[in-house]
């Protein structure tokens, strides 16, 4: 079992030391987190991000704006934070209310403060393979593989999902580590056959129980990015853990797998 909790804890210790060293040199580190509206899941994420900052010694500045905030008001705030020396990173929690154009907001963040790595400038750098910031979830997956000494070099890696936040950057990072990468999506002709060929299978679909044991090669490494509510209301991933665990050489559980890594990689 690949434990995101274990990897995350080790990483946070390392980050705490790095921040302490910066403090000794007289440098403080600050993250601005913007949340617009009353999305309860977003509230939980933002609170966890603040807690994570406290834990490692990063200053966090929260901007909780009402649902009816206009796009221009939000852009004005980001402009101010772009020029604020106390703020090293800016994060605008998604999703935003429907009247705000998410891409316009992402584009307005100074790429050098874009800790989510969603700005096209940073997306381009990821494509080139020369980057400062990475999207936190795929970065967390790579960190877990590294921690458990799992090399993807020369392995067939199948990523199910092609979102800008998870699937696409995930594929680029596996490629950078010399995996032979394939991206599957809802238009993939024979998904089961593609998955069966995978030495490393990453599921980022958002559907409970999507990956079943008959789609997994014996000995494969299975990474479950999905966060879903099962029929019983409990948190679960995209992978049928109980049956796939028997075939996989390594597997991430949900909860306790990729999830804990995401905020830790944001802190990095
Ligand atoms: P999206 O909904 O943006 O993307 C889902 C992807 O799955 C799409 O590319 C879609 O294909 C593909 N897909 C859907 N149905 C099928 C199908 N039947 N066969 C093959 N592919 C399919 O989701 P995200 O990438 O944002 O997130 C994916 C999951 O990861 C979610 O459960 C989310 O909650 C979770 N997540 C977890 C995080 C963590 O910290 N652990 C962080 C971020 C996300 P198409 O493009 O063709 O529509």
pLDDT in tens, 7-38: 999 999 999 999 999 999 999 999 999 999 99
pLDDT in tens, 46-81: 999 999 999 999 999 999 999 999 999 999 999 999
Task: Look up 192 and say whether it is catalytic.
Answer: no
pLDDT in tens, 80-109: 999 999 999 999 999 999 999 999 999 999
Assign residue 142 a region (left: φ > 0; alpha: ψ between -120 and 50; beta: otherwise): alpha
For ligand 1, whether the C-beta of 187 sits within 6 Å is yes
Virtual torsion, Cα 145, 148, 151, 157, nearest 10 deg: -40
Q: Which pLDDT score, from 0 to 100, does residue 172 have? A: 98
pLDDT in tens, 142-165: 999 999 999 999 999 999 999 999
Task: Look up 49 and say whether it is catalytic.
Answer: yes
Phi, psi of 73 (to 5 degrees): -65, -40
Q: How far apart are CA 108 and CA 115, in angstroms?
A: 13
8 A C-beta contact, residue 167 and residue 159:
yes
Q: Which pLDDT score, from 0 to 100, does residue 198 have? A: 98
Candidates 11, 49, 113, 217; catalytic one: 49
For ligand 1, whether the C-beta of 206 sits within 6 Å is yes
Phi, psi of 15 (to 5 degrees): -65, -40
Task: State how far Cα 26 lies from the chain centre.
Answer: 30
Between the CA of 25 and the centroid of ligand 1 the distance, in Å, is 42
For ligand 1, whether the C-beta of 190 sits within 6 Å is no
Beta bridge partners of 90: 32, 114
pLDDT in tens, 207-222: 999 999 999 999 999 9
8 A C-beta contact, residue 50 and residue 64:
no
Q: Which pLDDT score, from 0 to 100, does residue 196 have? A: 98
pLDDT in tens, 110-147: 999 999 999 999 999 999 999 999 999 999 999 999 99
Q: Which pLDDT score, from 0 to 100, does residue 34 have? A: 98
8 A C-beta contact, residue 91 and residue 81:
no
Instruction: Report, as an integer, the average pLDDT of 161-187.
Output: 98
**pTM exceeds 0.75, yes or no:** yes
Q: How far apart are CA 133 and CA 25, in angstroms?
A: 23
Task: Tell me the residue length of the chain.
Answer: 268
The average confidence (pLDDT) of the chain is 97
For ligand 1, whether the C-beta of 205 sits within 6 Å is yes
Q: Which pLDDT score, from 0 to 100, does residue 210 have? A: 98
- Ligand 1 atom with the smallest distance to the CA of 238 is 32
Closest CA to 252 of 225, 233, 219: 225
């Amino acid at each position: 079992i690949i434990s995101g909790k274990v990897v995350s804890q080790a990483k946070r210790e390392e980050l705490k030391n790095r921040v302490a060293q910066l403090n000794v040199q007289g440098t403080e580190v600050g993250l601005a987190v913007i949340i617009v509206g009353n999305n309860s899941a977003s509230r939980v994420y933002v609170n966890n991000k603040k807690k994570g900052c406290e834990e490692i010694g990063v200053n966090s500045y929260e901007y909780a704006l009402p649902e009816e905030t206009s796009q221009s008001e939000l852009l004005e705030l980001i402009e101010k934070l772009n020029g604020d020396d106390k703020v090293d990173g800016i994060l605008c929690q998604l999703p935003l209310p429907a009247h705000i154009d998410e891409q316009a907001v992402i584009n307005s963040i100074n790429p050098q403060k874009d800790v989510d790595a969603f700005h096209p400038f940073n997306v381009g750098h990821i494509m080139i393979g020369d980057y400062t910031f990475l999207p936190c979830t795929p970065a967390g997956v790579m960190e877990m593989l590294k921690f458990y000494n799992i090399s993807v070099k020369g392995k067939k890696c199948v990523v199910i999902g092609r979102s800008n936040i998870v699937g696409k950057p995930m594929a680029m990072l596996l490629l950078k580590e010399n995996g032979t990468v394939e991206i599957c999506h809802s238009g993939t002709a024979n998904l089961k056959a593609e998955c069966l060929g995978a030495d490393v299978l990453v599921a980022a679909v958002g559907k409970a129980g999507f990956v079943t044991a008959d789609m997994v090669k014996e000995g494969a490494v299975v990474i479950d990015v999905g966060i879903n509510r099962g029929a019983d209301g409990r948190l679960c991933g995209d992978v049928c853990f109980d049956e796939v665990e028997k075939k996989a050489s390594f597997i991430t559980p949900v909860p306790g797998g990729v999830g804990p890594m995401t905020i830790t990689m944001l802190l990095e």
